[in-house]
Protein backbone atom coordinates (compact mmCIF):
# COMPACT_ATOMS: atom_id res chain seq x y z
CA UNK A 1 0.00 0.00 0.00
CA UNK A 2 1.46 3.35 -1.03
CA UNK A 3 1.61 5.84 1.78
CA UNK A 4 1.39 9.54 1.01
CA UNK A 5 4.40 10.88 2.92
CA UNK A 6 3.12 14.46 2.84
CA UNK A 7 -0.11 13.48 4.53
CA UNK A 8 1.76 11.44 7.15
CA UNK A 9 4.08 14.36 7.83
CA UNK A 10 1.24 16.89 8.09
CA UNK A 11 -0.74 14.65 10.39
CA UNK A 12 2.22 14.31 12.75
CA UNK A 13 3.07 18.00 12.70
CA UNK A 14 -0.50 18.84 13.63
CA UNK A 15 -0.42 16.33 16.48
CA UNK A 16 2.86 17.76 17.79
CA UNK A 17 1.47 21.30 17.59
CA UNK A 18 -1.65 20.41 19.58
CA UNK A 19 0.36 18.43 22.15
CA UNK A 20 2.72 21.36 22.74
CA UNK A 21 -0.22 23.75 23.10
CA UNK A 22 -1.71 21.43 25.74
CA UNK A 23 1.69 21.19 27.48
CA UNK A 24 2.01 17.46 26.77
CA UNK A 25 5.46 16.44 25.49
CA UNK A 26 5.10 14.85 22.02
CA UNK A 27 7.44 12.05 21.04
CA UNK A 28 9.28 13.29 17.95
CA UNK A 29 9.35 10.21 15.74
CA UNK A 30 12.08 11.62 13.47
CA UNK A 31 14.42 11.70 16.51
CA UNK A 32 13.77 8.06 17.48
CA UNK A 33 16.28 5.32 16.46
CA UNK A 34 15.38 4.23 12.92
CA UNK A 35 14.02 0.76 13.77
CA UNK A 36 11.79 2.18 16.50
CA UNK A 37 10.73 5.08 14.26
CA UNK A 38 9.56 2.61 11.59
CA UNK A 39 7.67 0.67 14.24
CA UNK A 40 6.00 3.85 15.54
CA UNK A 41 5.00 4.88 12.01
CA UNK A 42 3.43 1.47 11.40
CA UNK A 43 1.50 1.76 14.65
CA UNK A 44 0.27 5.23 13.63
CA UNK A 45 -0.94 3.83 10.33
CA UNK A 46 -2.89 1.21 12.29
CA UNK A 47 -4.53 3.93 14.41
CA UNK A 48 -5.51 5.89 11.28
CA UNK A 49 -6.89 2.70 9.73
CA UNK A 50 -9.02 2.02 12.83
CA UNK A 51 -10.44 5.53 12.53
CA UNK A 52 -10.98 5.55 8.76
CA UNK A 53 -12.93 2.30 8.67
CA UNK A 54 -15.58 3.61 11.10
CA UNK A 55 -19.18 3.59 9.88
CA UNK A 56 -21.05 6.93 9.43
CA UNK A 57 -17.79 8.85 9.60
CA UNK A 58 -18.16 12.54 8.73
CA UNK A 59 -15.59 12.96 5.94
CA UNK A 60 -14.71 16.53 6.96
CA UNK A 61 -13.73 15.47 10.48
CA UNK A 62 -10.10 14.51 11.14
CA UNK A 63 -8.32 12.95 14.09
CA UNK A 64 -4.57 13.53 14.56
CA UNK A 65 -2.74 10.62 16.15
CA UNK A 66 0.65 10.50 17.83
CA UNK A 67 2.72 9.45 20.85
CA UNK A 68 3.58 11.26 24.04
CA UNK A 69 6.94 11.17 25.77
CA UNK A 70 5.42 9.96 29.01
CA UNK A 71 6.22 6.69 30.79
CA UNK A 72 2.93 6.44 32.66
CA UNK A 73 0.32 3.98 31.43
CA UNK A 74 -2.19 6.30 29.85
CA UNK A 75 -3.77 7.53 26.64
CA UNK A 76 -5.53 10.82 26.04
CA UNK A 77 -8.10 12.34 23.69
CA UNK A 78 -9.31 15.84 23.01
CA UNK A 79 -11.21 17.96 20.51
CA UNK A 80 -9.49 21.31 20.07
CA UNK A 81 -11.13 21.73 16.62
CA UNK A 82 -10.03 18.49 14.99
CA UNK A 83 -9.86 15.37 17.14
CA UNK A 84 -6.62 14.50 18.85
CA UNK A 85 -5.54 11.15 20.31
CA UNK A 86 -2.19 10.40 21.96
CA UNK A 87 -0.75 7.21 23.35
CA UNK A 88 1.96 7.40 26.02
CA UNK A 89 5.15 5.48 25.21
CA UNK A 90 4.74 3.89 28.67
CA UNK A 91 1.71 2.03 27.32
CA UNK A 92 3.69 0.55 24.47
CA UNK A 93 6.45 -0.79 26.69
CA UNK A 94 4.12 -1.96 29.44
CA UNK A 95 1.84 -4.15 27.35
CA UNK A 96 4.70 -5.36 25.20
CA UNK A 97 6.41 -6.66 28.37
CA UNK A 98 3.24 -8.08 29.88
CA UNK A 99 2.32 -10.25 26.90
CA UNK A 100 5.91 -11.37 26.34
CA UNK A 101 6.15 -12.40 30.01
CA UNK A 102 2.86 -14.32 29.82
CA UNK A 103 3.81 -16.18 26.63
CA UNK A 104 7.29 -16.96 28.04
CA UNK A 105 5.63 -19.14 30.65
CA UNK A 106 5.04 -22.67 29.31
CA UNK A 107 1.90 -22.99 31.43
CA UNK A 108 0.14 -20.12 29.64
CA UNK A 109 -1.74 -21.07 26.43
CA UNK A 110 0.30 -24.30 26.04
CA UNK A 111 -1.53 -25.12 22.79
CA UNK A 112 0.11 -22.11 21.08
CA UNK A 113 3.51 -22.79 19.46
CA UNK A 114 6.07 -25.11 21.02
CA UNK A 115 6.45 -24.56 24.78
CA UNK A 116 9.29 -27.06 25.24
CA UNK A 117 11.96 -24.38 24.83
CA UNK A 118 10.39 -21.77 27.12
CA UNK A 119 12.92 -21.34 29.91
CA UNK A 120 11.13 -19.00 32.30
CA UNK A 121 11.18 -20.50 35.77
CA UNK A 122 7.49 -20.55 36.68
CA UNK A 123 7.85 -18.52 39.86
CA UNK A 124 4.85 -16.34 40.68
CA UNK A 125 4.92 -12.56 40.34
CA UNK A 126 2.51 -10.78 42.66
CA UNK A 127 0.22 -8.24 41.14
CA UNK A 128 1.83 -5.02 42.36
CA UNK A 129 5.30 -6.31 41.52
CA UNK A 130 3.94 -7.12 38.12
CA UNK A 131 2.98 -3.52 37.56
CA UNK A 132 6.28 -2.25 38.91
CA UNK A 133 8.46 -4.72 37.04
CA UNK A 134 6.75 -4.11 33.75
CA UNK A 135 8.02 -0.55 34.00
CA UNK A 136 11.64 -1.55 34.41
CA UNK A 137 14.12 -3.20 32.09
CA UNK A 138 14.70 -5.90 34.71
CA UNK A 139 11.58 -7.53 33.48
CA UNK A 140 12.59 -7.83 29.83
CA UNK A 141 11.98 -11.34 28.61
CA UNK A 142 10.59 -12.79 25.42
CA UNK A 143 9.29 -16.20 24.38
CA UNK A 144 11.91 -18.45 22.79
CA UNK A 145 9.44 -19.99 20.37
CA UNK A 146 8.84 -17.83 17.30
CA UNK A 147 5.12 -18.53 17.14
CA UNK A 148 4.67 -17.65 20.81
CA UNK A 149 6.71 -14.47 20.27
CA UNK A 150 4.44 -13.57 17.35
CA UNK A 151 1.38 -14.25 19.50
CA UNK A 152 2.68 -11.92 22.24
CA UNK A 153 3.26 -9.10 19.70
CA UNK A 154 -0.16 -9.62 18.19
CA UNK A 155 -1.80 -9.51 21.63
CA UNK A 156 -0.11 -6.26 22.58
CA UNK A 157 -1.15 -4.88 19.19
CA UNK A 158 -4.76 -5.89 19.89
CA UNK A 159 -4.64 -4.28 23.32
CA UNK A 160 -3.24 -1.08 21.80
CA UNK A 161 -6.05 -1.25 19.24
CA UNK A 162 -8.49 -1.30 22.15
CA UNK A 163 -6.76 1.77 23.67
CA UNK A 164 -6.77 3.74 20.40
CA UNK A 165 -10.42 2.84 19.83
CA UNK A 166 -11.45 3.78 23.37
CA UNK A 167 -9.93 7.25 22.90
CA UNK A 168 -11.36 7.54 19.37
CA UNK A 169 -14.73 6.70 20.96
CA UNK A 170 -14.41 9.67 23.34
CA UNK A 171 -13.75 11.89 20.33
CA UNK A 172 -16.24 10.65 17.72
CA UNK A 173 -19.12 10.16 20.15
CA UNK A 174 -18.77 13.80 21.17
CA UNK A 175 -17.66 13.28 24.79
CA UNK A 176 -14.71 15.69 24.52
CA UNK A 177 -16.74 18.36 22.75
CA UNK A 178 -19.57 18.15 25.29
CA UNK A 179 -17.19 18.39 28.25
CA UNK A 180 -15.34 21.36 26.64
CA UNK A 181 -18.65 23.11 26.06
CA UNK A 182 -19.90 22.52 29.62
CA UNK A 183 -16.55 23.57 31.11
CA UNK A 184 -17.15 27.06 29.77
CA UNK A 185 -20.21 27.20 32.05
CA UNK A 186 -18.02 26.75 35.13
CA UNK A 187 -16.58 23.94 37.24
CA UNK A 188 -17.98 22.22 40.31
CA UNK A 189 -15.82 23.31 43.27
CA UNK A 190 -15.81 19.89 44.87
CA UNK A 191 -15.22 17.56 41.92
CA UNK A 192 -13.50 19.90 39.47
CA UNK A 193 -15.87 18.56 36.79
CA UNK A 194 -18.05 20.82 34.60
CA UNK A 195 -21.29 21.81 36.34
CA UNK A 196 -23.99 19.27 35.47
CA UNK A 197 -21.47 16.44 35.16
CA UNK A 198 -20.87 14.01 38.03
CA UNK A 199 -18.48 11.14 38.58
CA UNK A 200 -21.37 8.89 37.54
CA UNK A 201 -21.67 10.85 34.26
CA UNK A 202 -17.94 10.35 33.66
CA UNK A 203 -18.28 6.60 34.28
CA UNK A 204 -21.14 6.56 31.78
CA UNK A 205 -18.92 8.20 29.15
CA UNK A 206 -16.24 5.60 29.92
CA UNK A 207 -18.83 2.86 29.47
CA UNK A 208 -19.79 4.31 26.09
CA UNK A 209 -16.14 4.59 24.94
CA UNK A 210 -15.52 1.00 26.08
CA UNK A 211 -18.61 -0.31 24.28
CA UNK A 212 -17.58 1.50 21.11
CA UNK A 213 -14.02 0.09 21.37
CA UNK A 214 -15.14 -3.47 22.17
CA UNK A 215 -17.53 -3.58 19.24
CA UNK A 216 -14.87 -2.29 16.81
CA UNK A 217 -12.21 -4.58 18.28
CA UNK A 218 -14.39 -7.64 17.72
CA UNK A 219 -14.71 -6.70 14.04
CA UNK A 220 -10.96 -6.68 13.34
CA UNK A 221 -9.85 -9.68 11.31
CA UNK A 222 -6.26 -10.85 11.35
CA UNK A 223 -5.44 -11.88 7.82
CA UNK A 224 -2.71 -14.38 8.58
CA UNK A 225 -0.76 -15.46 11.65
CA UNK A 226 0.73 -18.91 12.33
CA UNK A 227 -0.84 -19.16 15.81
CA UNK A 228 -4.32 -18.77 14.33
CA UNK A 229 -3.91 -22.16 12.67
CA UNK A 230 -3.29 -23.83 16.02
CA UNK A 231 -6.80 -24.72 16.98
CA UNK A 232 -8.78 -27.90 17.08
CA UNK A 233 -11.25 -27.58 14.25
CA UNK A 234 -13.70 -30.02 15.79
CA UNK A 235 -13.98 -27.75 18.84
CA UNK A 236 -14.00 -24.34 17.27
CA UNK A 237 -13.72 -22.47 13.96
CA UNK A 238 -10.62 -20.44 13.13
CA UNK A 239 -12.54 -17.17 13.54
CA UNK A 240 -13.87 -18.29 16.93
CA UNK A 241 -10.32 -19.19 17.95
CA UNK A 242 -9.11 -15.72 16.88
CA UNK A 243 -11.83 -14.09 19.01
CA UNK A 244 -10.99 -16.18 22.10
CA UNK A 245 -7.45 -14.80 21.81
CA UNK A 246 -8.73 -11.21 21.39
CA UNK A 247 -10.82 -11.73 24.54
CA UNK A 248 -7.82 -13.28 26.29
CA UNK A 249 -5.68 -10.21 25.48
CA UNK A 250 -8.38 -7.78 26.64
CA UNK A 251 -9.01 -9.71 29.89
CA UNK A 252 -5.30 -10.06 30.74
CA UNK A 253 -4.71 -6.36 30.01
CA UNK A 254 -7.56 -5.35 32.33
CA UNK A 255 -6.66 -7.95 34.96
CA UNK A 256 -3.36 -6.20 35.61
CA UNK A 257 -5.37 -3.11 36.67
CA UNK A 258 -7.68 -5.04 38.90
CA UNK A 259 -6.26 -3.65 42.12
CA UNK A 260 -9.60 -3.19 43.84
CA UNK A 261 -11.42 -6.33 42.79
CA UNK A 262 -14.28 -5.95 45.24
CA UNK A 263 -14.94 -2.27 44.69
CA UNK A 264 -17.70 -3.14 42.26
CA UNK A 265 -20.28 -0.56 43.30
CA UNK A 266 -18.08 2.53 43.69
CA UNK A 267 -19.30 5.77 42.15
CA UNK A 268 -16.58 8.00 43.66
CA UNK A 269 -14.20 7.68 40.76
CA UNK A 270 -14.36 8.93 37.15
CA UNK A 271 -13.72 5.35 35.97
CA UNK A 272 -15.68 2.31 37.14
CA UNK A 273 -13.79 -0.77 38.30
CA UNK A 274 -11.83 -2.97 35.89
CA UNK A 275 -14.04 -6.10 36.32
CA UNK A 276 -17.20 -4.06 35.67
CA UNK A 277 -15.73 -2.51 32.56
CA UNK A 278 -14.59 -5.92 31.37
CA UNK A 279 -17.99 -7.55 32.02
CA UNK A 280 -19.75 -4.84 29.98
CA UNK A 281 -17.26 -5.18 27.12
CA UNK A 282 -17.62 -8.97 27.02
CA UNK A 283 -21.37 -8.49 26.57
CA UNK A 284 -20.75 -6.09 23.67
CA UNK A 285 -18.27 -8.51 22.06
CA UNK A 286 -20.84 -11.32 22.33
CA UNK A 287 -23.46 -9.11 20.63
CA UNK A 288 -21.01 -8.15 17.87
CA UNK A 289 -20.22 -11.81 17.23
CA UNK A 290 -23.93 -12.60 17.00
CA UNK A 291 -24.35 -9.88 14.37
CA UNK A 292 -21.52 -11.54 12.42
CA UNK A 293 -23.54 -14.77 12.55
CA UNK A 294 -21.09 -16.76 14.66
CA UNK A 295 -22.56 -19.70 16.56
CA UNK A 296 -21.81 -20.41 20.25
CA UNK A 297 -20.86 -16.84 21.15
CA UNK A 298 -21.36 -17.56 24.86
CA UNK A 299 -18.82 -20.34 24.67
CA UNK A 300 -16.28 -18.19 22.82
CA UNK A 301 -16.49 -15.50 25.53
CA UNK A 302 -16.33 -18.07 28.33
CA UNK A 303 -13.30 -19.78 26.74
CA UNK A 304 -11.35 -16.51 26.30
CA UNK A 305 -12.21 -15.41 29.83
CA UNK A 306 -11.31 -18.80 31.38
CA UNK A 307 -7.98 -18.90 29.55
CA UNK A 308 -7.19 -15.38 30.81
CA UNK A 309 -8.30 -16.06 34.40
CA UNK A 310 -6.23 -19.25 34.48
CA UNK A 311 -3.18 -17.55 33.00
CA UNK A 312 -3.48 -14.62 35.41
CA UNK A 313 -3.94 -16.89 38.43
CA UNK A 314 -0.90 -18.91 37.34
CA UNK A 315 1.28 -15.85 36.82
CA UNK A 316 0.57 -14.31 40.22
CA UNK A 317 0.67 -17.72 41.93
CA UNK A 318 -2.72 -17.48 43.56
CA UNK A 319 -4.51 -19.94 41.31
CA UNK A 320 -7.86 -19.41 39.73
CA UNK A 321 -9.92 -16.72 41.50
CA UNK A 322 -12.92 -15.56 39.51
CA UNK A 323 -14.60 -13.71 42.37
CA UNK A 324 -14.07 -10.22 40.93
CA UNK A 325 -15.31 -10.94 37.43
CA UNK A 326 -18.14 -13.12 38.76
CA UNK A 327 -19.33 -10.30 41.04
CA UNK A 328 -19.24 -7.96 38.04
CA UNK A 329 -21.23 -10.42 35.92
CA UNK A 330 -23.82 -10.99 38.66
CA UNK A 331 -26.09 -8.92 40.86
CA UNK A 332 -23.58 -6.34 42.16
CA UNK A 333 -22.36 -5.56 38.70
CA UNK A 334 -25.86 -5.55 37.26
CA UNK A 335 -26.99 -2.91 39.78
CA UNK A 336 -24.07 -0.64 38.96
CA UNK A 337 -24.61 -1.10 35.24
CA UNK A 338 -28.26 -0.04 35.62
CA UNK A 339 -27.19 3.22 37.31
CA UNK A 340 -24.83 3.89 34.41
CA UNK A 341 -27.58 3.17 31.88
CA UNK A 342 -29.99 5.57 33.68
CA UNK A 343 -27.34 8.28 33.50
CA UNK A 344 -26.87 7.42 29.81
CA UNK A 345 -30.50 8.39 29.16
CA UNK A 346 -29.74 11.84 30.61
CA UNK A 347 -26.38 12.33 28.84
CA UNK A 348 -27.22 10.85 25.43
CA UNK A 349 -29.39 13.76 24.14
CA UNK A 350 -26.56 16.19 24.96
CA UNK A 351 -24.13 14.17 22.82
CA UNK A 352 -26.30 13.77 19.73
CA UNK A 353 -25.23 17.03 18.05
CA UNK A 354 -21.54 16.21 18.47
CA UNK A 355 -21.37 12.68 17.01
CA UNK A 356 -18.78 12.40 14.19
CA UNK A 357 -18.80 8.65 13.52
CA UNK A 358 -20.53 5.47 14.65
CA UNK A 359 -23.88 5.84 16.37
CA UNK A 360 -24.93 6.29 19.99
CA UNK A 361 -26.46 3.31 21.78
CA UNK A 362 -30.20 3.71 22.40
CA UNK A 363 -31.48 4.79 25.83
CA UNK A 364 -33.03 2.02 27.88
CA UNK A 365 -34.66 4.24 30.49
How many other C-beta atoms lie within 10 A of the C-beta of residue 30? Answer: 8
- Using DSSP bridges, classify how beta strands 63-68 and 75-78 pair: parallel, antiparallel or unpaired: unpaired
Considering beta carbons, is residue 108 or 161 the nearer one to Zn ion?
Answer: 161
- State the Cα torsion 197-277-166-35 to the nearest 10°: 140
Q: Please choose, out of 172-180, 198-206, 308-316, 331-339, the segment that lies near Zn ion by the rule CB under 5 A.
A: 198-206
CB neighbours of 133 closer than 8 A, spacing ≥ 6? 97, 125, 139
Q: Pattern 273-312, binding to Zn ion, x per CB under 5 A?
A: ----------------------------------------
* Cα–Cα dist 153/99, whole Å: 7
Nearest to 164, CA basis, from 44, 245, 60:
44
Residues whose CB falls within 8 Å of the CB of residue 43, separated by 6 or more in sequence, listed in order:
92, 160
Please say which residue, 206 or 343, places its beta carbon nearer to Zn ion. Answer: 206
CB of 193 to Zn ion, least distance (A): 14
Identify which range of 181-189, 203-211, 235-243, 333-341 contacts Zn ion by CB under 5 A: 203-211
Minimum CB distance to Zn ion smaller for 145 or for 206: 206
Which CB, 73 or 209, lies closer to Zn ion? 209
Which of the stretches 53-61, 205-213, 236-244, 313-321 binds Zn ion when contact is defined by CB under 5 A?
205-213
Phi, psi of 64 (to 5 degrees): -100, 130
Window contacting Zn ion (CB under 5 A); options: 53-61, 85-93, 200-208, 294-302: 200-208
Q: How far is the CB of 56 from Zn ion (least distance, A)?
A: 21
Phi-psi map region of 185: left, alpha, beta (phi>0 left; psi -120 to 50 alpha): alpha
Shorter beta-carbon distance to Zn ion: residue 207 or 245: 207
Shortest spacing between CB 171 and Zn ion, in angstroms: 11
Quick one: residue 81, left, alpha or beta (phi over 0 = left, psi -120 to 50 = alpha)? left
Range 283-289 contact pairs with CB under 8 angstroms and sequence separation of 24 or more: 284/210, 284/211, 284/214, 284/215, 284/218, 285/214, 285/215, 285/217, 285/218, 285/243, 285/246, 285/247, 287/215, 288/214, 288/215, 288/218, 288/219, 289/218, 289/243
Q: How far is the CB of 73 from Zn ion (least distance, A)?
A: 13
> Which C-beta is closer to Zn ion: that of 70 or that of 206?
206
CB of 63 to Zn ion, least distance (A): 15
**Interface with Zn ion by CB under 5 A: which range of 206-214, 247-255, 260-268, 323-331?**
206-214
The rounded distance, in Å, linking the Cα atoms of 15 and 17 is 5
Site string for Zn ion, 209-248 (x = CB under 5 A): x---------------------------------------
271 versus 346: smaller Cβ distance to Zn ion: 271
From the list 155, 145, 322, 140, the residue with the least C-alpha distance to 222 is: 155
- Which residue number, 64 or 101, has a Cβ lying nearer to Zn ion? 64
**Nearest distance in Å: CB 167, Zn ion:** 7
CB of 282 to Zn ion, least distance (A): 18
- Least Å distance between CB 341 and Zn ion? 18
Q: Where does this chain bind Zn ion (CB under 5 A)?
A: 206, 209
Amino acid sequence: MAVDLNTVQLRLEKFEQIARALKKPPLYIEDAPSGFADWLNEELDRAVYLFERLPNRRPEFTVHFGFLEDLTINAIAGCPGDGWVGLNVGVIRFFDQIFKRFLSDPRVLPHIGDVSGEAIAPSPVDQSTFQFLANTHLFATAPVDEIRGGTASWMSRMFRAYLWLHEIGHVVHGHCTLLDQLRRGGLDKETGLPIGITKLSMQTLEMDADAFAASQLAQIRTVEAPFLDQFQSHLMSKRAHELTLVIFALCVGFRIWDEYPHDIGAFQSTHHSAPLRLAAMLAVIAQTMELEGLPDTGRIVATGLDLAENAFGTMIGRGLDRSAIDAALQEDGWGHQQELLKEWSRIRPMLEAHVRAGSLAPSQY
